[in-house]
Amino acid sequence: MELLTLEDVYPHPTCAAVGSFDGLHRAHRYILSRCRTLGGNLLVVTFLPHPTRLKDLLFTPEEKLEALEEMGVEVVLTLRAEDKRLSAEEFMRVLQSHFQVKVLLMGYDHHFGRGRAGSPRWLLENYDQFPIELHVFPPMRYRGKVISSSLIRELLKEGRVEEANELLGYRYILSGKVIKGKGLGGKLGFPTANLSIPSLKLLPSDGVYAVYVQQVRRYGVLHVGPRPTLGLQRSVEVHILNFGGEIPERLKVSLVARLRDVKKFASVEDLRLQIERDIKLTNILFSDGLPPIEETSGRLQSAQRSL
Amino acid sequence: MELLTLEDVYPHPTCAAVGSFDGLHRAHRYILSRCRTLGGNLLVVTFLPHPTRLKDLLFTPEEKLEALEEMGVEVVLTLRAEDKRLSAEEFMRVLQSHFQVKVLLMGYDHHFGRGRAGSPRWLLENYDQFPIELHVFPPMRYRGKVISSSLIRELLKEGRVEEANELLGYRYILSGKVIKGKGLGGKLGFPTANLSIPSLKLLPSDGVYAVYVQQVRRYGVLHVGPRPTLGLQRSVEVHILNFGGEIPERLKVSLVARLRDVKKFASVEDLRLQIERDIKLTNILFSDGLPPIEETSGRLQSAQRSL
């Protein structure tokens, strides 16, 4: 029997995935991994920055590009807000004529083009005009929950980072420049680095989180909370455990588990005792290294019990 | 970065390709090879036997199953003529509930279910009811020609086997039981085996063809032509070159190139001379082994010039 390779039919299939890809969660990654198996070039078409949303984004534009790069995406076609004027027909013509797109992947509910006229259904209704290999993806579930950027945002806003991470397929990341803080933690014996996070990036709800600090490969305790001196702006401070080195200019922190709510303390000593407790809990949680994402909730519960 | 595998989202994606798959040509094979890359089980859903066509089929039912088996298909769901009563909804429910189909692949113009109500477009219009990963395939071209079973049938009926083979992606096969012939060829010094080909199988137009006889791994000269004693039925006879062994009970012959039309001869000697010429041409054609399918036309022309 003769063997047929993809090249026989499609010399260089360019595969385009179209979507917002905020957070590049499990379902997004699944779609991109599908592209990968097709053996062609992978083009991602996405708005950058997000055309309407100005806050609560899971990704800054830089983070989105970095994540796509890590997934092996060859080309990103970035659409800007003014590109919303492009009609669905014009959009398809750009993909087919300019990029020689042979396979188009999109979520069942994705819309594109002026007035959101384009959709998978629209494509099949206009198939004579745009005959293309079309892969349509249904809502995907993980442990019964439909994976979506909106649900992940909701979970993070409620502080449920362990569940958000399960849907993301990785641990939610906060990254930013290290800025000078008030140095209060340092006086207590727990020096912290304050992170400057872009305002469009979603912060998890106020609270204390066990984290992994990527550049220095250390665990840490992160505090997200109100900073009275800055009005509504919230501060993000991380204390890196067992670290005596120079703190890098930028930090990238993976949120692993939520340890507790923020609270007011009657005395500095009460605060110091609580921080010691947070550190102890974090050390127990990480005693066997970073837990697998799916086991984090369980490990946290047993760590809390053993404290 | 954490690596995501397909299993994280879809533990065992069953991938179903739905279609008639007559001839399992390049485009069919492309669709099935796409299934293969998804990493799940591969289910093919196809009518067996063909629900309406009673002749000119590129495959007998047995040949279709054999070809699907060779492509690594795990399960074939065979629909019979009476299954045409199944509505498109019922059809989808069988796929999703009984076979846990997660990915459905079909040609853009495929219809299924009672009254041909189901189609890729119908699926997207009823997506709430049947959320499924849907891959729709456009007409595929090979050297400018749209690959289709109908076109391949037309080409074979005109004797253009080299072109038909290019669209098939393999060489058209005739296979059947060896039956007793009149032994005329033997008397001339060119013993032939007569093949009994099922009546629903499409025969190429009358003529003489250079072939490859699979079981005995020899080249041969095949004659398709009228057999006056049998009315309209046509005979298929093959003379295997350089072969002195026992002819197997069944033969499987790949058609490589059309050498000439059938014709009447004034004398037995004229016939003998022509057969010698056919054999010489076949030997020149195959002097470097089986030519690649795409080069067969060119090789045949240069063989004819050098004769």
- Looking at beta carbons, which residues of chain B come within 8 Å of A27? 9
Closest Cα to residue A168, out of A141, A144, A149, A145?
Answer: A149
- Looking at beta carbons, which residues of chain A come within 8 Å of B110? none
pLDDT, average across residues B106-112: 93
Torsional class of A249: left (φ above 0), alpha (ψ -120 to 50), beta (otherwise): alpha
Three-class SS state of B17: strand
pLDDT in the model for residue A14: 84
Distances, alpha carbon B188 to alpha carbons A12, A71, A303, B242, in Å: 53, 69, 93, 15
**Residue count (chain A):** 307
pLDDT in the model for residue B232: 67
Whether pLDDT at A1 is above 50 = no
pLDDT, average across residues A70-78: 86
Domains of chain B, residue spans: 2-138, 172-306
pLDDT, average across residues B149-154: 97
Query: Is the distance from CB of B55 to CB of B90 less than 8 angstroms?
Result: no
pLDDT in the model for residue A184: 65
Six-digit token string for A207 = 């609270």
Q: A208-239: per-residue pLDDT in tens?
A: 999 999 999 999 999 999 876 666 678 999 99
Report the alpha-carbon distance of residue B260 to residue A123 in Å, rounded. 47
> Domain A2-138 in CATH: superfamily?
HUPs (3.40.50.620)
Size of interface A-B (CB pairs under 8 A): 97
CA angle A188, A192, A198 (to 5 degrees): 145
B1/A170 Cβ within 8 A: yes
Six-digit token string for A230 = 């800055």
pLDDT in the model for residue B8: 43
pLDDT, average across residues A274-302: 96
Q: A137-190: per-residue pLDDT in tens?
A: 999 999 889 999 999 999 999 999 999 999 999 999 999 999 876 666 777 888
pLDDT in the model for residue B26: 95
Report the alpha-carbon distance of residue A76 to residue A47 in Å, rounded. 10
Closest Cα to residue B73, out of B15, B30, B25, B112?
Answer: B15
Average pLDDT, chain B: 89
Report the alpha-carbon distance of residue B116 to residue B55 in Å, rounded. 22
Report the alpha-carbon distance of residue A40 to residue A28 in Å, rounded. 18
A125/B131 Cβ within 8 A: no
ipTM summary value: 0.79
Report the alpha-carbon distance of residue A89 to residue A120 in Å, rounded. 13
A199 CA: distance to closest CA in chain B (Å)? 24
Query: Is the distance from CB of B152 to CB of B58 less than 8 angstroms?
Result: yes
Q: Whose structure tokens read 């709430």?
A: B128
How much is the pTM?
Answer: 0.82
- Looking at beta carbons, which residues of chain A come within 8 Å of B34? 38
Query: Do A2-138 and A172-306 have matching folds?
Result: no
Q: Where are the beta strands (DSSP E) in chain B?
A: 14-18, 41-47, 75-79, 101-107, 133-137, 141-142, 145-146, 173-179, 193-196, 207-213, 218-226, 234-240, 250-260
Whether pLDDT at A9 is above 60 = no
Whether pLDDT at B182 is above 80 = no
Q: Which helix (H) or strand (E) holds A100?
A: none
Q: Class of the A172-306 domain?
A: mainly beta
B1/A9 Cβ within 8 A: no
Query: Is the distance from CB of A104 to CB of A134 less than 8 angstroms?
Result: yes
A237 CA: distance to closest CA in chain B (Å)? 23
* B170 band by pLDDT with thresholds 50, 70 and 90: very high
Main-chain dihedrals φ then ψ at residue A170, nearest 5 degrees: -150, 175
Fill in the DSSP letter of residue B53: -
Three-class SS state of A39: coil
- Looking at beta carbons, which residues of chain A come within 8 Å of B23? none
